[in-house]
Structure 1
Amino acid sequence: MSALGGLEVFVHTARTRSFAATGRELGISPSAISKSISRLEERVGVRLFQRSTRSICLTSEGEVFLERCRRIFGEIQAAEDELSAMTRHPRGRLRVGLSLSAGLPFQVLSDFMEQHPEIELDLDFTDRLVDVIEEGFDVVIRGSKLRDSRLVSRPLGRWRACLVAAPDYLQQKGTPANPEELLDHACLHYRWTPTGKLYQWPLRHSTSKAASSSLPLTMVCNSLDVMLYMALAGRGIACVPDFAVKNALADGRLKTVLDAYVTDSNSIHVVWPSSRKMTPKVRVFVDFVHAHFGKYLVTKADGSKRQKVRPPA
């Protein structure tokens, strides 16, 4: 069991490329991670990582060893899944990958926990496109198209991009009537952490001088929560998923602008590996989010907006 623990630390570190990040994930100190890797290298007789003062990376021997370790943990997961399926009762640890997007309907996850107390949710939030199989996820909820033939998916609902700003900001600066007028506004941008690239605002007529790449960079950040805070504080216009601002639009804290010029729309899916037998815990999770996720979104399956439910007078 001690050897398996060392292999788990190695696999985590190979993914994060950081002793500190691995320590945060596993709840132990970076020095303990470093010592575990050193003991493993001593046991196998080769150096698995090249270390520098700023980063670490796998050696060629480490790459080969990583592939073997993934197979080992894949077999362990398969064995656990088979035993779980034999019981026909949903239980055990369920590793779920989710986007960092603010406004995801966490109420669905809370309700699921209440209905299935024997399932232990292990939630991993990131804005990078994870490798569901290689990184050992049971299921992933993501807002992008399925491009991996090793995976299967079910749609949970649709979302649209929208440009939003606080009423006070629009009163002071004016409401843009077309994309060209955005050049005279404060624009709040999102940066993708994995690539460092900015999210390009999906504006119709992108050949105009107001193409997304030429908009003012009043603020750039890699946190949708921060960007929404700044928009609510009247610091500028932001491009966000409609579900992230559902409540702020409903109560008037934000308003949309240039709706006719924003083109981006996509589906949110729950995704899982096709190669694994669908265990009871995965099946009940997939069925549950499929039944309940969409009602918390703004956009209906056909792309139209949901009707607002007004409280009785």
Structure 2
Amino acid sequence: MDRLGPLNAFIHAAETRSFTAAGQALGISSSAVGKAIARLEERLGAPLFHRSTRNITLTPEGGRFLKRCQTIFSEIEAAELEIAQSTAPKGTLRVSLPLIGMLMTPPLGAFAKAYPEITLELDFTDRLVDVIEEGFDVVMRTGKVADSNLKMRMLGTYGYVIVGSPAYLAKRGIPREPEELVGHDCLFHRWTATGKLERWIFSREGAELDFQPPASTVANTMEPLIGLAEQGLGLFYTPSFTVRRQLANGTLRSVLDASLRSSGTLQILWPPSRHGSPKIKAFVDVMARTVLAS
């Protein structure tokens, strides 16, 4: 069993082409990774990497050895999953969600109640996380996802609404065309990753309208903006599922519905090495049933 540690270090270094990245993933220093691989090479009597000041590349022997090692660790993971699947889902589940995920409390609460033996660690951010290197079990994201190495399940699509409180609309009037928003207080969400304001996308006669209302208040998370809209301080453009409760109970009303045609997608992703994990499967199933449910 003491041979598995160096093999694991070798796999991480080979897959990332970096001793530093391998060390970060394993929680050890890059020099410790280098020493482990040097001892492995000495035992094997063959070099596994070509080393330069800038990068490392596999030797032919290293390439063949990597395939064998990956097979070994895949079998170990399969054996662990076989045992885990015979028991109730449990353990720690690290989940990365977009900042919009702060508005997903009901689905997250439903999951926590259904699986009390799973400890949720939730990280809310709009930056693109490295799922494998940063040790996340599951990542939930809006928009397009470029990492084709991950398993993915589409949770669904959602539309956008512009909402305001009944008191605000009674006082300031209901806009009938997008251009009338010039005379309104508009609450804008700023994307943390880019620093840009979220575009309010309008359409007219099937074509996108080149118009943006002026911003009266800006925040980098949506939750306070929804609260400000409920308090009658302006109109807010947001995914419809984030204000489902407020629209149902009447604290917010939607306007300009006919001028909004934009939609977004929500997907959930996880590393292929953990495909079949009971806790991941349970989380994916609950989110698929609840997040965008009407």
TM-score, length-scaled by structure 2: 0.69
Separation in structure 2 between the aligned mates of residue 139 and residue 226 of structure 1, nearest angstrom:
26
2:83 maps to 1:83: no
Separation in structure 1 between the aligned mates of residue 26 and residue 102 of structure 2, nearest angstrom:
37
Separation in structure 2 between the aligned mates of residue 229 and residue 102 of structure 1, nearest angstrom:
16
Separation in structure 1 between the aligned mates of residue 161 and residue 211 of structure 2, nearest angstrom:
16
| Corresponding residue number in structure 1 for 2:53 | none
Letter in 1 for 2:283: F
Measure how far apart 1:81 and its partner are. Answer: 8.3
| Corresponding residue number in structure 2 for 1:126 | 125
SS in 1 for 2:247: helix
Measure how far apart 1:211 and its partner are. Answer: 1.2
| Corresponding residue number in structure 2 for 1:263 | 261
SS in 1 for 2:264: strand
Separation in structure 2 between the aligned mates of residue 83 and residue 73 of structure 1, nearest angstrom:
22
Separation in structure 1 between the aligned mates of residue 77 and residue 156 of structure 2, nearest angstrom:
31
- 1:204–1:165 distance in 2 versus 1, CA, 3 Å: same
| Corresponding residue number in structure 2 for 1:12 | none
Task: Please point out which of 216, 219, 229 is paired with 1:218.
Answer: 216
- 1:199–1:207 distance in 2 versus 1, CA, 3 Å: same
Q: Deviations over 1:29-82 (max 9, x none)?
A: xxxxxxxxxxxxxxxxxxxxxxxxxxxxxxxxxx9654122443599x987886
| Corresponding residue number in structure 2 for 1:293 | 291
SS in 2 for 1:253: coil
Task: Please point out which of 250, 253, 275 is paired with 1:252.
Answer: 250
- 1:73–1:103 distance in 2 versus 1, CA, 3 Å: closer
Measure how far apart 1:103 and its partner are. Answer: 6.8
Separation in structure 1 between the aligned mates of residue 78 and residue 98 of structure 2, nearest angstrom:
25
| Corresponding residue number in structure 2 for 1:282 | 280
| Corresponding residue number in structure 1 for 2:106 | 107
Q: Deviations over 1:175-226 (max 9, x none)?
A: 1111111111111100011111110111115875x612xx212111112111
Residues 187, 236 of structure 2: 8 Å contact kept = yes
SS in 2 for 1:137: coil
Percent of aligned pairs with the same residue? 39
Letter in 1 for 2:192: T
- 1:174–1:98 distance in 2 versus 1, CA, 3 Å: same
Residues 203, 263 of structure 1: 8 Å contact kept = yes
TM-score, length-scaled by structure 1: 0.65
Q: How many residues align?
A: 230
Alpha-carbon RMSD: 2.9
Letter in 1 for 2:211: A
Residues 158, 266 of structure 1: 8 Å contact kept = yes
| Corresponding residue number in structure 1 for 2:61 | none
Residues 201, 208 of structure 2: 8 Å contact kept = no
Letter in 2 for 1:87: A
- 1:243–1:291 distance in 2 versus 1, CA, 3 Å: closer
| Corresponding residue number in structure 1 for 2:22 | 68
| Corresponding residue number in structure 1 for 2:239 | 241
Residues 150, 270 of structure 2: 8 Å contact kept = yes
List gaps (5 residues or longer) in structure 2. Answer: 1-16, 29-69
Letter in 1 for 2:194: T
List gaps (5 residues or longer) in structure 1. Answer: 1-62, 299-313
SS in 1 for 2:100: coil
SS in 2 for 1:156: strand
| Corresponding residue number in structure 1 for 2:115 | 116
SS in 1 for 2:228: helix
Residues 103, 245 of structure 1: 8 Å contact kept = no
Deviates more, 1:78-87 or 1:217-226: 78-87
Letter in 2 for 1:183: V
Separation in structure 1 between the aligned mates of residue 113 and residue 250 of structure 2, nearest angstrom:
32
Residues 102, 225 of structure 1: 8 Å contact kept = no
Letter in 2 for 1:171: A
SS in 2 for 1:204: strand
